């Protein structure tokens, strides 16, 4: 089942073990080389906590289920801190080809809700296969030259 980054933000995160609401999804942290979500970010700023994708037991339309309350952890390094602060967010990011040509702005990301694998990135009116994503950072996401219009 496919999901959208835009629709995921604000979704409740619930512990399966305690049935306690742990917060809401603020960001999705992506490994651009693997083209997959590696963690969800709950909270903002210094209170931000991450949950590894492997610690999710379900990603449904009403809530994200986490194995247990202990799955939440603080960011472990600078990259995770930048992700928690929203600096690595794909949605809204500039999209460039590997030649440096402007492709537009990333409006949404479609992913597989079971595996966390990225499927497509929506740039304006175009849906670009995630396989074309070469890298992502605080400045832009870079796509292979085949994605140029």
State yes or no: pLDDT of 44 exceeds 90: no
Domain with CATH 2.30.30.240 in the chain: 2-84, 94-147
Answer whether residue 149 shows pLDDT above 80: no
Q: How far apart are CA 121 and CA 107, in angstroms?
A: 8
- Asked if 134 and 123 count as a contact pair (C-beta separation under 8 A), the reply is no
What average pLDDT score do residues 35-45 get? 92
Chain centroid offset of residue 118 CA: 9
* pLDDT > 90: percent of the chain: 83
Q: How far apart are CA 14 and CA 29, in angstroms?
A: 18
Answer CATH for 2-84 from 3.40.47.10, 2.30.30.240, 3.20.20.140, 3.40.50.720: 2.30.30.240
Q: 145 pLDDT band (50/70/90 cuts)?
A: confident
Q: Where are the alpha helices (DSSP H) in 64-127?
A: 78-84
Q: Which of the four CATH numbers 3.40.50.720, 3.30.428.10, 2.30.30.240, 3.40.50.300 does domain 94-147 have?
A: 2.30.30.240
pTM, two decimal places: 0.91
Give the contacts of 55 (CB within 8 A, at least 6 positions apart): 66, 67, 71
| Nearest one of 5, 8, 1, 3 to 107, comparing CA atoms | 5
């Amino acid at each position: 089942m496919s999901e959208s980054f835009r629709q995921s933000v604000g979704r409740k995160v619930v512990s399966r073990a305690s049935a306690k609401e742990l917060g809401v999804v603020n960001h999705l942290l992506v490994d651009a080389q693997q083209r997959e979500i590696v963690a969800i970010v709950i909270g903002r700023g210094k209170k931000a906590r991450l949950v590894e994708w492997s610690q999710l037991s379900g990603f449904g339309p009403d809530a994200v289920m986490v194995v247990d309350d202990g799955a939440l952890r603080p960011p472990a390094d600078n990259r995770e801190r930048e992700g928690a602060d929203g600096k690595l967010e794909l949605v809204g990011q500039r999209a460039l080809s590997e030649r440096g040509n402007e492709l537009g702005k990333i409006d949404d990301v479609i992913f597989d809700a079971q595996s966390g694998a990225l499927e497509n990135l929506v740039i304006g009116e175009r849906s670009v296969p995630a396989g074309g994503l070469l890298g992502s950072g605080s400045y832009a996401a870079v796509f292979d030259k085949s994605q140029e219009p």
